Structure 1
């Protein structure tokens, strides 16, 4: 697929040069709409920006293919993490592409956008019969699927999705991902002069430190992780600290387990506040909910066959990262998240490989033209 390889490199480089940090996806959305318009595919922008605060909405479109059966949803996100301004695609040997080292590359998720575009382009230019394709390019995915949460799912007819947004070996696909619950624990103590009358104060930092030291963190078991990632507080080194704010998260492949573990955290902070004579203000949120697509499902079976036809070994994996599929699953759309040549993501060492993007494109082509199972 030489032509696909050459075009994929060009398309990817064009996308990389567009600044699209989360909630600033307008230019990216305009460019993607024009790309698909050249293929005769119209993408419409929804009104989710009113909810998300982005300067653009999600893009949705449908590509008729002539095969009977329900459409398949292909999805990727338009936003990138920071630092994301002034990105450049630096091409190296053997198809490798990196940033210049001062920004992320944006392969997460522009490699996914490129592969979807190339698959649709190949099918249309070669007039190949395929199943109907629904396309969804979202905003704010890096903020726990913010754009996907604001989409109107009454517009979709697909009941299975292939989300192109996973690091790892090409052929890998995540069939399960965790719930992510975040929390803020604000310990309130009492200020006092640390030299003259420390006994009159209640040191919130000390109270918070005791409870943090007692909590289980890191990998709790094969399904669950927990982390306290931020702590702040105090007004001066000569003041008994009247407040301490602690922030963290719990992840688990089982939603109920995440909820229960977070309850353990809250109770520990409540006990520490009571024992110290202070108070606790607690906030928590379910950022995304866990999903698990059956290994014997049509979604997985079709993917395995498509990868095999492309000469690639399919491996089904569990991931501890979230994606838009976590959101789609809550609306009855079972799916998997495909590895899409994004490596060292969320860092300035991020890189991709055009050969691998083409391999992903080949899997998509076989997926879209294969027999309905």
Structure 2
């Protein structure tokens, strides 16, 4: 079914279009033209005014040929991590790779290419379908900035699928954690480190003592915590009066997440007080968790589509967040799907050609299977 040469050519075109997060204008304009040529009505929202990124999110809508089918949507992101400028992709021994000086950008341009090829097949083969929307976000790699500022009034879907996870085609991420970012500043007291260190209070020492008392790493099967950034001091002969720490906690159980955050906040504050320092702690809850089971329609449709393309479904969980978290939090049930890319966010990233082709098949199967259920408000028989 898949026109492999057309798919591969478009994938390479997308990869060669620079789109590091924050600088999405070129890829956004390219996608606008491609989607319009496929018959979509394309709207760019005003999120760039809030995020400062190079483009807003795209919400593209394709009218259906079936009036009573549910409205489904797919989401991918248009941005990549750095180093992602001047990418030189090659196809060798069944894998797309860069030249080793940059990332490849299959995260998430493999998803974008698969979506557009899937729509071409839909049209060429006159496959009946309901209304379809694409939500293509900017700034996903900058903490899901695009989706967090999405104009949700543009989305009118019953459920959907994020085409944006590692693992082979067939993996269905039915649950992923919420994330909290904890920004801490420790204020101590400066003094000369050689003349009168006893008169100072080292903010670095306070922060280190607090961190040593924390539960970090793998907390339990659903929960993790990490110290990601630590900065302090000005010179070796000055007792540092200030230290900055950025940490995070994640959990698929939001009660556990709040408990872990409270533990980290209190530890910073209590240790600072004990040592005569002061801790200012700000916590930002970045995105919600989501959790679906095989009783949920969105998972059932994903399973049916995977089986339709000859793969064995694997319903699993993730420790990372994606636009699926944010979209599910908005009330659009969404699962994230494996598309096979490997070693993402590194210069050894690669994309198996066979998985790219299989992702296109999956997109078409998802559209077909999703059309086989009643529309919103109708009675659904499990």
Same fold (TM over 0.5): yes
RMSD: 1.3
Residue 257 in 1 paired to residue 256 in 2?
yes
2:266 counterpart residue number:
267
Map 1:87-126 onto structure 2 (within 5 A): 87-94=87-94, 96-126=95-125
Map 1:193-342 onto structure 2 (within 5 A): 193-342=192-341
Which segment is superposed worse, 11-20 or 177-186? Answer: 177-186
Q: Secondary structure at the match of 1:119?
A: helix
1:73 counterpart residue number:
73
Residue 34 in 1 paired to residue 33 in 2?
yes
Q: Output the CA distance in 1 between the equivalents of 2:294 and 2:307.
A: 16
Residues 30-62 of structure 1 show CA distances to partners (whole Å, capped at 9, x for unaligned) of 111122222222322112111111221111111
Residues 164-198 of structure 1 show CA distances to partners (whole Å, capped at 9, x for unaligned) of 01001210011111111111211111111112211
Q: Secondary structure at the match of 1:245?
A: strand
Q: Secondary structure at the match of 1:21?
A: coil
Conserved 8 A contact 1:43-1:59: yes
How many Å apart are 1:222 and its aligned residue?
Answer: 0.3
2:373 counterpart residue number:
372
Conserved 8 A contact 2:69-2:129: no
Conserved 8 A contact 2:190-2:238: yes
How many Å apart are 1:65 and its aligned residue?
Answer: 2.6
How many Å apart are 1:317 and its aligned residue?
Answer: 0.9
Q: Output the CA distance in 2 between the equivalents of 1:27 and 1:42.
A: 19
Q: Output the CA distance in 2 between the equivalents of 1:106 and 1:193.
A: 49
Q: Output the CA distance in 2 between the equivalents of 1:343 and 1:29.
A: 24
Q: Secondary structure at the match of 1:12?
A: helix
Runs of at least 5 residues in structure 1 that lack an aligned partner in the other structure: none
2:10 counterpart residue number:
11
Number of residue-to-residue matches in the alignment: 371
Residues 87-133 of structure 1 show CA distances to partners (whole Å, capped at 9, x for unaligned) of 12111012x10111111111000011011111111101222211221
How many Å apart are 1:294 and its aligned residue?
Answer: 2.7
Which segment is superposed worse, 316-325 or 286-295? Answer: 286-295
Q: Secondary structure at the match of 1:127?
A: coil
Q: Output the CA distance in 1 between the equivalents of 2:155 and 2:270.
A: 47
Q: Secondary structure at the match of 2:174?
A: strand
How many Å apart are 1:307 and its aligned residue?
Answer: 1.0
Residue 144 in 1 paired to residue 135 in 2?
no
Q: Output the CA distance in 1 between the equivalents of 2:343 and 2:228.
A: 21
Q: Output the CA distance in 2 between the equivalents of 1:48 and 1:265.
A: 32
Q: Output the CA distance in 1 between the equivalents of 2:143 and 2:160.
A: 18
How many Å apart are 1:312 and its aligned residue?
Answer: 0.8
Conserved 8 A contact 2:168-2:355: no
Q: Secondary structure at the match of 1:142?
A: helix
Q: Output the CA distance in 1 between the equivalents of 2:60 and 2:185.
A: 45
Conserved 8 A contact 1:5-1:355: no
Residues 191-216 of structure 1 show CA distances to partners (whole Å, capped at 9, x for unaligned) of 11112211111111111111111111
How many Å apart are 1:335 and its aligned residue?
Answer: 1.2
Runs of at least 5 residues in structure 2 that lack an aligned partner in the other structure: 375-382
Q: Output the CA distance in 2 between the equivalents of 1:23 and 1:159.
A: 30
Conserved 8 A contact 1:234-1:243: yes
Which segment is superposed worse, 121-130 or 96-105? Answer: 121-130
Which segment is superposed worse, 111-120 or 62-71? Answer: 62-71
Q: Secondary structure at the match of 1:266?
A: helix
